[in-house]
Every structure is written in structure tokens, then in C-alpha cells.
Amino acid sequence: MNKKLMAVAVAGALSVPGMALAQVQIGGSINLLYYQHDPKNGASSKSDIAELAEPELYIRAEEKLGGGMSVWMQCASSFDVLGAAAEGLCSRNSAIGMKGGFGNVFFGNWDQPQKLVFNQARGWFSGTNALFGGSANLLFGGSASGVSNPVQSVTASPVIGGTTGAATANSANAERFYRRQANTLNYHSPNWGGFTLQGSYSADRESTGRPESSTLSPRMYGLAGNFNMGGLWVGVGYEAHEDWNAANTTVGTGASQYGGGSDTNFTVGVAYRFGFGLSLRGVYSESEYEVSNTGNMKVKGYGMYSDWRIAGPHTVRLAYVLGESPTGNTSQNVGVYRAPAGATVDAGGENFTLAYSYAFSKRTEGSLAYNEMKNDPRGTFSLGKSAATVGGKQTTMGIVLRHRF
């Protein structure tokens, strides 16, 4: 398909005098899941589930400008062949930018540097889906895709002084660090002897929802560095959310709300590929939430992932993730994280995944997977298909079919 499109692009360029040659590609991927889910309780009862995980159809185009520079664009959209859900055009990684010897600068809706580090660590395993994922639920409170800054319409930050004004908008996923952020300016560096750098910050387009007297300026900042040489990879990611009010904390009386503070995440990943088909990867995550002008919460977690290609098309995969109980002095919950103050501990959880994969070709693979999420006595984590029960456990078991085109 790509060759045909290239031929069309070439023919079009040659037929129009002075027209520059543009390269266009169309491709994508489908991950079909069919599995049994237990428990079958919560807001909606589920037993056997058929769904897709991050299906994608993309269009990419690039034009050479000379001097080693190019302008490029990508529009990646959800490609749900089951018809169960529909998302907008360019709802996945989509952008327009320029690249050259200086690196790659682009605007768009894109995976953030912290997420890119974690994606390297998790590898084959999903961040959030119920059959071969769940790590991001423990480590980052879930995921957020195609989202923008929250709108904080209070007139002052409690970090500085008092507050007056209304509540917030766009803040449903404000506590989550595993993000594909909309309206961002991004920079990805060239490869400097195995070292690469990624940076990003979000545009302040939501400022129209705040009065001019407001001292708040909700923004997201991200930075990551990676070193990759031989079989070794090391990545460090950092992300900061300014004035996001992740806990949606109400202070004082009436509609006044806490609207300031800085919430941060620090993620470190390490991987090594051995010569006999074994890949071992680890990740450490630490998040800190400034829940109010006097309260805070800290969340730590660890993950280990492995893929062992035993022989030919056969691969065994294993993942284990531990989310520790939150610490700090706040009595306010932050998303799925339970308030640490005034309560007993044991509010963490763990996730275990085991899979066997068979590669039918370079582009098609089938897998059998088992996934389990187990809460500590006060934990309330879930795989996203049934409502969490305090201290409960959820399991899934089924098949995965992956195809790239």
C-alpha cells in the first residue's frame, strides 16, 4: 500500500511543474482482545469481553526542504473495527513539525516525555488494558489521552494567599501522569552517541476561562533523557503540572477551591537485552501531589518486565508491578490513591501478568494472557472493567491477536 501511495505522490509531483516531492504513508495496527473477567460486579456486570486495545490508523507525510530539513505531519486516529467506540480524527499521536540536524520540533497531541520513558520500560505490555496491562493504574493513577490543561478560574492561589471564585474544568484526569497531551510544543533531539533528549510544554489556550486578575497559569512541563547503546537502555523522565488542583480540593466555604500547587512525577527505567533472546526491564516511579497549601501526598511504585524468546516464534512474557501505599499528611484522596492521613496503611496494590506469544509473521502475533490485580486491605485499584472493591482482587484470562499493516 505504501509503495502505491509513493508512486501516486511521485506521479503527481512530476505532472505539476515546480511541485516538491512529498512522501505519504498509510498504516496502522489492530490489537484484538477476547477474555473472561472476574469479578463480574460493580457498576456494570461483565463476563466475556471482546474489545480492541489502542487500534490505530495513521497517515504520514513528509516533504524535503533541502539542507537536510523536512516538514512533516501525522494524523493517527482510532481504528475500531468492532464498532464499539468512535473517537475523533487525529485523536492519537498527531502533529505537524520540522526536523533536521537540530532535531525535531513539532506541535500536536503527543505522548509526553515521561510516558515515552515508561513505554520503553513496559515494552509489549499495555499501560492500562485489562488483559495484558495495568501498570499505569498503579504507578500513575491511570492514563489521560487527548486532554488539555484544566481551567482554573479562581483569582488567586492558596500557595500565595486566599481564593475566591468558581470551580475547575477539564480536571477529571488531572492527577494522571501517563499522558498524551493536546496543544503541546515538543522537541526531540538527534542521537548524540546513544543519548537523546525529549522536552514538551503545553500551550495556555485555556486561559480564556480565567479572569485577568487570576494569578494561576495551569501548564504541563515534561523532560526526558535516554541512553541506548548495545543491549543497554537507561531512561529518566520528569513531568510537572502547575496549578492543576489534582485532588479538586475545596477549601474555605462556598465554591472556593484550592487551585494552585505543583504536582510532579519522576520516572526511571532500565533495560538490558541478552544475546539469547531475553529482555529484562525495570521501572521506578515517584509522584508528589501538593493537595492544598498545607497538605501533600507522595506515591511510589516499581515494575519489572521480561520477554524471553525461547526458540523460533515462541516467546514467554512476565510482568510484576507494585504500587506502595501513599504517604503524606493530607486527608484528601487523589484519584485512585487513598488519603494517607488519619488512616491505617495498606492502601497499595500489585499487578501480575503472564503471557505466551506465537509470531505467525513479522507483523502478526497471537498471545494467551493472564492478568491479576490485587489490592492491599485498603487499596481500591481496578483493571477498569468492574468497579474496584476495597481490598479486592480482579483477574482476566484470554487471547490477544496483534496485526500491523
Across residues 277-298, what is the average pLDDT? 93
Where on the phi/psi map is residue 65: left (φ > 0), alpha (ψ -120 to 50), or beta? Answer: alpha
Q: Which residue pairs, CB below 8 angstroms and at least 24 apart, start in 42-46?
A: 42/382, 42/385, 42/386, 42/387, 42/388, 42/389, 43/386, 43/387, 44/386, 46/385, 46/386
pLDDT at site 1: 45
Say which DSSP state 13 is in: H
Residue 171 pLDDT exceeds 70: no
- Write out the H or E segment, with its range, that includes residue 61: strand 56-66
Q: How far apart are CA 220 and CA 177, in angstroms?
A: 10
Domain ranges of the chain: 31-55+112-404
* Least confident stretch, 1-15, 19-33, 338-352: 1-15
This prediction has a pTM of 0.88
Q: Which fold has domain 31-55+112-404?
A: Porin (2.40.160)
Q: Scanning the structure block, which residue is given the C-alpha cell 501533600?
A: 296
Q: Give the residue among 299, 257, 26, 231 at the shortest CA–CA distance from 152.
A: 257
**Of 48-52, 148-152, 190-194, 333-337, which has the strongest mean pLDDT?**
190-194
SS3 content of the chain, % helix, strand, coil (to 5): 10, 50, 40
CB contact at 8 A, 390 and 378: yes
pLDDT band at 293 (very low <50, low <70, confident <90, very high): confident
User: Hey, what amino acid is at 395?
Assistant: T
Radius of gyration of the chain (CA): 23
Question: How, if at all, do strands 94-100 and 195-202 pair?
Answer: unpaired
CB contact at 8 A, 300 and 328: no
pLDDT at site 40: 64
Please count the other Cβ atoms lying within 10 Å of the Cβ belonging to residue 291: 27
Q: Give the residue among 265, 225, 14, 212 at the shortest CA–CA distance from 116.
A: 225
Across residues 353-364, what is the average pLDDT? 97
Question: How, if at all, do strands 178-188 and 143-147 pair?
Answer: parallel
pLDDT tens digits, residue range 91-139? 999 999 999 999 999 999 999 999 999 999 999 999 999 999 999 999 9
pLDDT tens digits, residue range 50-92? 999 889 999 999 999 999 999 999 999 988 888 766 677 899 9
pLDDT at site 124: 96
pLDDT at site 210: 67
Residue 154 pLDDT exceeds 60: no
pLDDT band at 22 (very low <50, low <70, confident <90, very high): confident
Q: How far apart are CA 372 and CA 352, in angstroms?
A: 5
Q: Which residues contact 259 (CB under 8 A, 6 or more apart)?
A: 152, 154, 157, 158, 163, 165, 168, 216, 243, 245
